[in-house]
Structures are given as structure tokens and as C-alpha cells.
Structure 1
Amino acid sequence: MESGGRGRFAAELTRWRTVRGLSKRALAARLSIDASYVSHLEAGRERGSSALARSVDAELDAGGALWRAWQSTGDSLVSASELSESSGGAGLVVLEDEAALAFDGSRYHLRMRRLLRNDGTEPITRYLVRIAVDRYPDDPERSNALYRRTPLTWEELAFEARCGDEPMDWTVKHDRDAVKEVWIQFCNPTRRFPLYPGQSAEITYSYRVGADKWGRWFQRAVRLPTQRLSVQLVFPVGTGPTVWGTETSLSADSVPLRTPPRRTEQDDRTVFTWTTLDPPLHARFRLEWRLETGPDMKENVPVSTLSASQSMANAGVVQDGDPVLARPARPFDLPGEADEAQRVVGELLDVIERVRRLHTFGKGMGIAAPQIGIDRRAALVLPPDAGAEPLVLLNARIEESSAELDEQFEGCLSFFDVRGRVPRPLSIVVAHTELDGTTRLSRFSLGAARLVAHEVDHLDGVLYRERMRPGVLPIPVEEYRGTGTRWKYS
């Protein structure tokens, strides 16, 4: 019997599973993992990933006890690279995160202020900033069509960044129609000022977006340990604003904010403020508004009828025929490319959010980086259970497959107009890599095995048509009768 942190997590897992009256098999089914893996966790032979530990804690409603027990494991302390969106250095903590959005009647002006502290051991020389717009968040096809016609440009953003009184250089990392990513550098043409271990620094950056490209929402994602997060929204009094908000995590659907935004009147402006302390990592706080007058009044513009595949294309999914789908994806060199891996996972999550508005995935769903045009070996799998946390697979490969197969219909986001009967193993063992470079072996069975195998195929440049029996062809989605239901196993 093991002692220390790993033994504590194993003991806590056993205790909470028993308290909730679940068998190992029942818990494994909820987590979409093999029951034998739960046995390994409770025996201390496996510690699991951080994502699994958080998922187990949420599933057993342990109030953070399981997550804390997992963190106490000496070799499993969460690294800053795992928590960071891509901060450019380990150990970065956000002491204060203040976001302000002001609407002047035609443009939204945004100013972000962050007080950072370097709790790591290496100097930090850059910080990643992401700007994403979505004019019609409930209508992905319409939004994507808008940004294809009139892409967001750096000129109209007028982006600026400062560290204290010092201007900061910045370099573009990604430049897409509706999404920009930029590294702001702790330097300028006259001097360098890296954030050394133990030091704190205040950075601010600002940009603007026209109301023709900005929807009625503002979202903050917690990607680094944060002590205080606040948001301020400012509107002209004459627009008659109403504001509300929701909170979403990887393991739970959106719920109303625990406290409402506070409203005040300041001269000719209506100001809404909202603050939270110690927000959980990976949480997303979304504030939305309605204006009685102004550019966000409901527009009655007809939306054209699109095919299933066209809808997925407009949501950001690469379609059949693109060369990126036909070649093996490049693996990550972990932990060296942990920041890049997290960025790709973030982009996959963004596309999943859009795709899930378009279709009911009763069997669960998955998406691989090549399907969003990124040639890297990353994939996400979402079990069919509501609220289940996405499974992150980096550098995944199938190490073992059961001899026993079954054949059921599958769909693919990259050619969603058809469904095809595909033979798959009933059980597989997958090797995948954690952000710290550790290789894990995970066993999946039945529907989970089918979902994972489909995504690993994408990482190998294989589409499910190549797995179908000779002479068997996909059928039009209109003829398929299994939408919204789970696969059936005896």
C-alpha cells in the first residue's frame, strides 16, 4: 500500500465513490473510461491526469476534496504551463484582472489591465493576448459569412500595450478573419524589462471594435491562477441597456452568475460592474446585454438554408478534400511545446462551442486539430453525458485493440451530409501524452472506444470511409434514423 499524496488521492477516491453509492463500473461509465482504470486509480497504481482528477471531483460532487488530494501528489503538482493560456513562462499568477468595455454608439472600446506576479524560477519575456469577435453568437453561419466578407483587421483594432509607463512591443501569432492572437513583449526599441522571479508588473492593453463586428456579449476566460477578476461595461444612458451573465466550466453547463452585475448611473453613462474573487481555473464568465436603441437591436435578415456540411464549414470545420485531412498530423514535443498544445486545445474548444449549437450529439462527439486546419496531433472527445468534461488527447496513438468488433453508424464533421457503418474494436488502449511530457495509457470501451478511435484516425490522416467494408457506402443524413440517440450495445 502506497503512502503520501498518491495514496491520499486513492483513498479519497474510494471514500467518495462509496459515499455516493457508485460501483467502479458505474463511475467508469460516467467518466467514459474502463472500469479497470478506476481500480488502478484506487489501488494507487495510476494517478490519472489533472483533467481526470477535476472530472472525478465534479462527478462525485466532492467539493474540491479529490482535486486537492490529487494536487498533493508530489509528482503531480499542476505546472504553470498546464494552467497558462500561453504566458511565456512558468509560475505566472494574475493578482488583479480588470476588463473594461465602453460603447460610444458605434464602436466598442476595450481596455484590459492585469497585475501579474512571477512565482516561477525563470524570467517571463512575453504574454499572449487573444481577441475574438462574434457578431451573431447564436447564428454561426451568419457570423462566419460576415467575417469572410469583411475580416477584422489590425488597423481597425488600433491595438496598443504598455507595462507601467513603458510601451510594449508586440508580434502577431495568429491572424484570422475573426480571431487574432498577439504576443506582447516585455521590451520596446529602447529597453528590455523582463518580469523576473518574485517581481510584479502591471500591464495594460487596449483595442476597439466596430459595432458592426461585435455582438452583444463579452467573455473572460480564466487561464491562469487569478486572485481577483472584475468586468466593467459602460453604455450611453440613451441606449437603455440591460445586462446579465453566466458562468461555464469544462465540467458544467452554463449557470447564472452567483452575484448580479451592479448598475450605477454616472452623468450620461450607465455603468455595470461585476467582480469575483479566486475564480476557478478554466471557468468562463460571459456578460450579455440588450439595448433598447442602437446597432444591436434585433435584425430581421433572412438566413439562407444550408446543408449540414455547409453549416459545419461555416462553424470553422475543414471539409473533405482539404489536404490537411489526408496526412498524419505532427506530434507535440512535450513539455517544450506545452504552450502551443494548450493554444490548439483552446481553439478546438471554441469550435466545439459553435458546433454544438448546430446539432444534437446524442452519441457524444469529437474533433481533431486537422479538422480546424491545424496540422498538430491534438483531439478532444466529449462523452454523451451532459456536463461531462472533454477528454484531451495529445500525441494519441492506439496501442492495443480488441479482436471483437462491432459495426455501427458514424458521422464526421468534415462531411456531415452522410452517415456510414464503420467496424470498430469494442475496446482499445490509447497512449497519449500529458503536458509535462508523461505518457499515459488509457483504456476505452464501447461508445467511448468508437469516439476515440475516430479521432485518432483523424490524427493519422484517415477518414471513416476508409474503415468501411468494401462495397458499403455512406447514406444521406436524411435517411439516417439515429440522430440524437446513443449507440446500442448488448
Structure 2
Amino acid sequence: MTAQPTSPTSPLERAADSFAAELSQWRADRGMTKKQLAARMGFDPSYVSHVEGRRHRPTEDFARRAEAVLEAGGRIWQRFQEYDELRHVRSVGLTHRDPPVPEQWLPPGTGLVVEQEIAELVYSGGEYRCLIRRALYNAGTEPVTRYMVKVAVDRFPTDPERSNRHHRDNPLSFDELRLTAFWGAPYAREPMRWRKKRDRDADKEMWLLFENDHGRFPLYPGQRTTIEYAYSVPEEKWGQWFQRAVRLPTRQLTVRLDFPAGLDPTVWGEETSLSAEEAPLRTPFTRNEENGRAVFEWSTDDPPLNARYKLSWRFRGTVTSSAETGSRAGDRMRAAGIVQRGAPQLTEPARQLVLPEQATDARDVVAQLHRALDRVGTLHDFRKGIGLAAPQIGLPWAVAVVRPPDAEEPLVLLNPLVVAESPETDIQYEGCLSFFDHRGAVRRPLRLQVEHERWDGSRTVTTFDRATARLVAHEIDHLDGRLYLDRMPPDARLLTMDEYQGGGLPWHY
């Protein structure tokens, strides 16, 4: 339960308290959770929670959307107007409500203001995926047609010479970033084009353009919008640190770090500014665990311009030590970056790649699958062979890699489709990296014909027999959003690892 502030001591604090109470009451009356309200409003759930908990200040955009979604008859909007009036009187000594952003936020020449930034970094499957969401307000006098973003990596931040050599030999590329960008609310967002600005071994700069195939959409003075962009960096090129720099007037900043809980992560942070040396963050992280993930969150209001917040971490667990990651096999697979049963990625059909246009993306996915297979290969003796589908490492693409027993080369399946099955079947016990603590008896055909694509987009049909057919069928099920449990009779029983007697042995034919 969130502790509520007691006895507001100023009119402004009492007004903020009244707004939060009004919002909470109407949300409860409408029978909505904070998460549901946030989704309808197009905000992050933590922001709604922080506003109701009086930890973040409401913005005009937030109040308008809350009023519209909750249909509060103007009561929420009225509470915000009371709060906003007092805020402006205290901030700039004025009784009117122009400009909509307090003047202390507007250094000379200011155009854009960041009303809220949420930066999320997720480690999974041997790579880091960064998602940045910014609510922007144009407080200037000219329309904004582009927005500059920067990606910088430093593999060994405490050893600059080593890091420079590493990135010179392994430069970061635009292709592996897999940059995506959108503008607008989540329920009605539009893609943004982007253009290269600077290309160096360890950093990239890009212009996000307020345009797409449907036209241009400048952000005019007095208007607001939300932009969202995401990019990926392999772990070999990303040191264990993440920095946010305040380059624009910013009202509120939230940072989240999302790691496998089995790696036993510990996180700390430091801040610097033009007027202060490096010092610990003034407030601690919060930590929550769910579905095998450890999520660390930190927020600050009104960060000063040019402030830098550097977050660092280390993994006290390792994927090869059962003592540190837990004795259960599933815990070790989770720590190795394998998405576990119950996660939505395992129940959603994978997306088809468009080849050869997305050949670079496809090769990157295959490389990540191989790295993940190498990691889990240190945890178990896979005498039956092993396979892995992209959704199992959190990637949505229809790609799988299979390493059959005694095969010289792995199988790479791009957009595979089963086109024929033999009538002859057998039942064998299968395991799955996404719930490795159990085994289940599954009936499958002894022969499969699978149509799949080559890198150049041409399609071919390959026939697989017996053990390889079973491995391939298992991975194609993953790409269809199915687990082998879906092929077992409803009354069939899973065996625990202690009960299963076939560990470390090939299938018998």
C-alpha cells in the first residue's frame, strides 16, 4: 500500500491532494484499475500510480485525458484548474495562465519541453533493448519537424583504451540497432521516418522525422505529442551501465531496468550536473519481481538541465552456477535469457519476415538464437538435440534454429510452414527450455515436410525424419504460439525431472 502524505501545509499542496483524491475516486467509481486507466489514457501505469500517490505533479494533458476517459462531468478538470492556477501564481507571480509551461522551464531559445520521459532497458537473449517514450510540448515559436536521438555504447567504461580498441574492432552498426520510431498516443500512433546524422564506431546519432509515407506532421507551437523509439544492442557491445542526459527542460524522468531475476542483479546510480560533482542518486530504486524478471525503477521530478544520471549494475548470479541461480533447471534457463511459461510471448503467433528486405534482421535474430543455445548448452547434456524459437528469447519473428543430434550443421528455419506429415507417428517424452523442470509424452509424426525461406526470399521444401522431425515440429509449434502441452491429452501428466528416467539419452526408434 502506498503511503499518502498527511496534512498538506500549503494551498498548492492541498490542491494537488484534491486532484489526486478526485482522480482516485472517479477511477474507483468506474471500476478501473490504474493499469486499465493508464492504457485508456495512453500513459504508463506507473505515472498514474505516482500521480494518485502525490509523488508526481499532474500535467494539463494528463488531466484532459483523465477527464475524457473517466467522464467525470468536469470535476477532474476543475480540480486541475485549481491546482494549475496556484502553481502558476507561485511559480511566476502571475494570475493568468499563459504560458502553459512555467517560465522557469524556458531558458532563452527553448523550443521543446519534455513533460515526461520513460526510459526502459531490458536485457534478454544476449542483448539489450532500449525503449524511450517522451511526452513533448512545443513551447517555442517555430514548428518542430525533427528530433535528434543518440545511441552511445561503452563496453568497458572503466578502461577507455580497451573499450576504444573493442569498438574499433567491433563497431556498432545501424542495422543491428533495429531502430523503430513512432509518434502519437499508443492507441493511434504513427511510424516516424529517421535519417542518419552521425556514424561512429561507438555512437550513432539520428534525426527522427515528423513525417512518414502519409505525409508530414510538424509539432506546432503550443501543441503536444508523444514520441517513442526503441533500439537493440548486443551484450558484447554494451557495458553494464545506462545513462540519461537532460538536454531539454524536463518535468519528470523515470528509468526502468529489467533483468532476469535468476541473474541476481544489483543496481546503483550516480548523478552529475554542471554545478555538482558525481554523487549517489538522491532517492533509491524500487524493485519488483514478476514472471522471473527483476524490474528496478527510479524517478525524479524537475531534473536540472545538463544533469546526467548514470545507472550501473552487476549480475551476482551466473548461468553456469546452480548454487547462485537456483537448483531448479527452469531457474537456470530463465537466467540464461529463455522466456518462461506464462509469458505472453509464448502464446502469440510469430511475425513473418519479409525477405530479402529483412535479411539483415533475420541474420541478427539467428545470431541471437545461436548465442542463447550456446549458453544453455553449458547447463545440460542435450543428447536428443536442441532447438530454440525466436519468441523464446523475446523476439516476435518466425525464426528458429535446430541442432539435431550428431548433425554437423544446425538448421535455420525462416518463416517455416508444415506442408505434409506422415501418417506414422510415435510418442516420445519432450522437454522445453521454457519449462525445463518437466517432461511430457507427445505424439508426433515420424516424417515432416516443411516449406521455409532462404535468405534471398526464395522458398524450398525440406523433409525431416524421426528425431529431427520432432525437434523441428516442436519449434514450429512455438512459432504458432503453442507449447507441447497443447498436443497432450487433457488428463496426461507431466513428469518432474526426478521422475523422468530418460535424461541424457537419445530418443529410441
Q: What is the TM-score when the length of structure 2 is the normalising length?
A: 0.41
Q: Of the two, which has the highest radius of gyration? A: 2
Considering Cα pairs closer than 8 Å and 6+ residues apart, tell me whether 1 or 2 has the greater RCO.
1
